[in-house]
Amino acid sequence: AQKVTQAQTEISVVEKEDVTLDCVYETRDTTYYLFWYKQPPSGELVFLIRRNSFDEQNEISGRYSWNFQKSTSSFNFTITASQVVDSAVYFCALSVPGSGGGADGLTFGKGTHLIIQP
Amino acid sequence: ETGVTQSPTHLIKTRGQQVTLRCSSQSGHNTVSWYQQALGQGPQFIFQYYREEENGRGNFPPRFSGLQFPNYSSELNVNALELDDSALYLCASSLVDRPRDTGELFFGEGSRLTVL
């Protein structure tokens, strides 16, 4: 069974500070995918990134960066120079190829509510 | 904008009733999946349809059922509603090479169901 843990339920920082959201995952599969999604108050989950288990290169996209470490089963997300518009709930998720030919969907963590204060 | 639209956005039902939620997937996508998100929780996988057939299901009872149509639309049906069914129901579509894959999901804004 898969599991994703986001230990930080809520983080509050002042605008322009850097902030890191933690994600720890559990799976016995060697092939898997990790995701981050952003959920603003409107409810729609906005895709941010997908990484496969064979690619441990860290990634940077503008103010966003991701640190994938298989040794610690972590996939952490950092926002540099945070802005008020970054305020949202952020979810880390895990998927593995389904067994028996079917799909098992995404396993989500409980989310981290990020509050950026002006 | 993900190109995934859901209706209705909000609805209220009473316990024991039945509900149908609708979703229009992104054009060209061959899978649609549904997730239930209770307040303050992460979404939970209900099921996935690949080319109009259910090919994956999470830990949900049979009273949760669905359909996927050739025109990229889909439905989630829930019978015998219970109070715990109150949640945000999210539809997502993706394009996958193999039916056992989940792919990169594009989500709609969800349908918020309240069961009284």
- B87-104 pLDDT, tens digit per residue, is 999 999 988 877 777 778
More confident residue, A2 or A18: A18
| pLDDT score of B79 | 97
| Mean pLDDT within B47-71 | 91
Which of B90, B84, B87, B82 is closest to B109 using CA atoms?
B90
User: What integer pLDDT is reported at residue A20 of this predicted model?
Assistant: 98
CA distance A82 to A64: 9
Q: What is the pLDDT of residue B28?
A: 85
Q: Write b or e for each residue in A38-67: b if 16 or more Cβ atoms lie within 10 A of its Cβ, otherwise e.
A: bbeeebbbeebbebebeeeeeeeeeebbbb
Split at pLDDT 50, 70, 90, the class of B50 is confident
Closest residue in chain A to residue B55, using alpha carbons only: A102
Tell me if B33 and A42 make a contact (CB, 8 A cut-off). no
**Using CB atoms and an 8 Å cut-off, which of residues 70-109 of chain B contact chain A?**
88, 90, 92, 96, 98-102, 104-109
B6, closest residue in chain A (CA to CA): A44
- The phi and psi torsions of A23 (rounded to 5 degrees) equal -145, 125
Rounded percentage of chain B residues whose pLDDT exceeds 90: 66
Q: B56 vs A105: CB contact, 8 Å cut-off?
A: yes
Question: B33 in contact with A at a CB cutoff of 8 Å?
Answer: yes
- Those residues whose C-beta lies under 8 Å from the C-beta of residue A28, and which sit 6 or more positions away, are none
Q: How far apart are CA B44 and CA B35, in angstroms?
A: 5
